[in-house]
């Protein structure tokens, strides 16, 4: 089966939809003999619930997963067993801390007003084309780096749109490299790593860059804490982890550079790429569905005064549903990989053992008619809003974007608030139009990015709530119709 998979690799996610739709939601992949590539692909809800919740103790990331993602060390994204439990326990306290939440939101708003808005104004005035995916990834890269390290704004998002820094480039190279490790026989990519050529050479250089840059952040933070005789509450995540009580969480010494580096990389990857990906696909879907834009703007104008607190963001139920709907169809993390410790029989009747890898194709899950109904491929935010106007929360084994069970995403609510803040700012102040003729498709990778970016043009708009009566109805630049 491997040659067939490699032939279809350029559109692996749509290929997974086709395979799983025709296989009653679960498909057994047989790899080459003695290569350890036997896998089970599934989007069966009962299987997902079993793996991620009911029999969670039997399913881990596994040593091979850690080997594939060796650049990330032993952070929360790759850890298992007791180490993972303790890392998660510490992270849970951190993400629920009001000081961190305030710091994260204020960092986002500062970058929004001081970085994103001036940039969008510039492109709107010039009438120039910009790559919205590049803009969002720069935005989330800057905000995540500040939130995690407490460092000064790297300003990769600016009117000059300078080439991305080496840290961001290294993260991109890592994402590309680990994806290819998933579909190459283990001996082959290890051989490439040993001789230092091909994709492994690029990955090795990226690894060295990340280690050097992380060491720089850690050293600067230690100096800052020492020179300022710091004894207050930590706001950024690096300071928080440096001050962790290692005995309380049974972790490695927080002063250990490797522990801090692995933690930093995991948190930066989790916050930077996923949010940038989600926003990109969301705005493309809006361009295809202008009626959704009108409904979101209407709710913004009726629910959100000049106050950006969480209380008002929580009133934007339709926007919340639209973001969920976008991530159902285009999940930022398109698959989850697990390994059984012992033999097991899944609810679907499929037998698995320790030599197999289980891949939950989240991208395909959101497109299954057997799971979401005959309109599964349609972008319908209304499916998330009840008749009384309340948000419908689907079970996590059905809407798997934020994972499920004990591994559910700790930053879910914060991520939703950050995205809503960005969307409100853009939709209140700009119309956007996607440049015709570009090919929109996902690139293979552990993060669902657009292969060719998303080129758009912008025009500034009057807010609906302050538009003078004498002004003609504003034309909807998404489709040439007039807004209500």
The annotation places the binding site for heme at 409
Residues in CB range of 217: below 8 A, 6 or more apart = 149, 151, 238, 264
Number of CB atoms found within 10 A of residue 446's CB: 21
DSSP letter string, 133-195: HHHHHHHHHHHHHHHHH-PPP---SSTT-PPPPHHHHHHHHHHHHHHHHHHS-HHHHHHHHHH
Residues 197 and 191: beta-carbon distance below 8 Å: no
DSSP 384: G
Asked if 454 and 282 touch (Cβ cutoff 8 Å), the reply is no
Q: What CA–CA distance (Å, rounded) separates 386 from 338?
A: 34
What CA–CA distance (Å, rounded) separates 202 from 105? 35
Element (H, E) at 434: strand 430-434
Annotated binding site: 409
* Strands 357-361 and 430-434, sheet pairing: unpaired
Say which residue the tokens 């933070």 belong to.
221
Would you tell me how many other CB atoms lie within 10 Å of the CB of residue 48?
26
State the Cα torsion 365-368-372-376 to the nearest 10°.
110
In Å, how far are 205, 268, 422, 442, 444 from 168, measured between CA atoms?
13, 10, 21, 20, 18
E strand or H helix that includes residue 237: helix 237-242
d(CA 217, CA 165): 15
What is the DSSP secondary structure assignment for residue 51, as one 8-state letter?
I
Total H helices, total E strands in the chain: 20, 12
CA distance 404 to 402: 7
Q: To the nearest 10°, the Cα dihedral for 278, 455, 420, 140? A: 70
Query: From the centroid of its chain, how far is CA 289?
Result: 23
Q: How far apart are the first and last CA of the chain?
A: 53
Neighbour tally for 117: CB within 10 Å? 15
């Amino acid at each position: 089966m491997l040659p067939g998979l490699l032939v279809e690799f350029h559109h692996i996610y749509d290929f997974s939809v086709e395979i799983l739709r025709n296989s009653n939601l679960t498909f057994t992949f047989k790899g080459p003999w003695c290569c350890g590539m036997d896998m089970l692909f599934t989007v069966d809800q009962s299987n997902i619930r079993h793996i991620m919740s009911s029999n969670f103790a039997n399913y881990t990331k596994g040593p091979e997963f850690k080997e594939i993602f060796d650049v990330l060390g032993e952070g929360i994204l790759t850890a298992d067993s007791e180490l993972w439990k303790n890392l998660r326990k510490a992270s849970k306290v951190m993400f629920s801390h009001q000081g961190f939440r305030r710091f994260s939101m204020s960092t986002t708003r500062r970058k929004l007003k001081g970085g994103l808005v001036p940039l969008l104004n510039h492109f709107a005035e010039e009438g120039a084309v910009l790559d919205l995916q590049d803009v969002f990834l720069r935005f989330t890269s800057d905000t995540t780096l500040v939130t995690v390290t407490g460092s000064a704004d790297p300003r990769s998002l600016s009117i000059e749109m300078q080439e991305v820094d080496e840290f961001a480039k290294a993260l991109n190279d890592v994402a590309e490299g680990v994806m290819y490790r998933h579909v190459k026989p283990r001996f082959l990519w290890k051989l490439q790593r040993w001789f230092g050529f091909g994709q492994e050479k690029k990955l090795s250089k990226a690894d060295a860059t990340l280690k050097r840059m992380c060491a720089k952040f850690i050293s600067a933070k230690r100096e800052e804490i020492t020179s300022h005789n710091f004894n207050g509450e930590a706001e950024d995540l690096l300071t928080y982890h440096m001050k962790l009580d290692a005995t309380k969480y049974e972790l490695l010494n927080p002063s250990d550079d490797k522990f801090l580096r692995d933690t930093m990389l995991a948190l930066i990857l989790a916050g930077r790429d996923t949010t940038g990906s989600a926003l990109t696909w969301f705005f493309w879907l809006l361009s295809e569905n202008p009626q959704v834009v009108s409904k979101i703007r209407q709710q913004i104008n009726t629910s959100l005064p000049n106050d950006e607190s969480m209380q008002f963001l929580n009133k934007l139920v339709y926007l919340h549903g639209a973001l969920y709907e976008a991530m159902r169809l285009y999940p930022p993390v398109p698959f989850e990989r697990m390994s059984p410790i012992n033999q097991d029989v899944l609810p679907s009747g499929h037998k698995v053992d320790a030599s197999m890898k289980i891949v939950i194709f989240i991208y395909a899950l959101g497109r299954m008619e057997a799971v979401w109904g005959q309109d599964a491929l349609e972008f319908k935010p209304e499916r998330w809003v009840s008749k009384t106007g309340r948000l419908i929360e689907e079970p996590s084994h059905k809407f798997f974007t934020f994972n499920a069970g004990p591994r559910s995403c700790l930053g879910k609510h914060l991520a939703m608030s950050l995205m809503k803040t960005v969307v409100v700012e853009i939709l209140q102040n700009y119309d956007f139009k996607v440049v015709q003729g570009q090919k929109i498709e996902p690139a293979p990778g552990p993060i669902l990015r657009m292969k060719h970016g998303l080129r758009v043009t912008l025009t500034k708009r009057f807010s609906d709530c302050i538009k003078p009566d004498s002004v003609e109805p504003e034309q909807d630049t998404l489709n040439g119709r007039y807004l209500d």
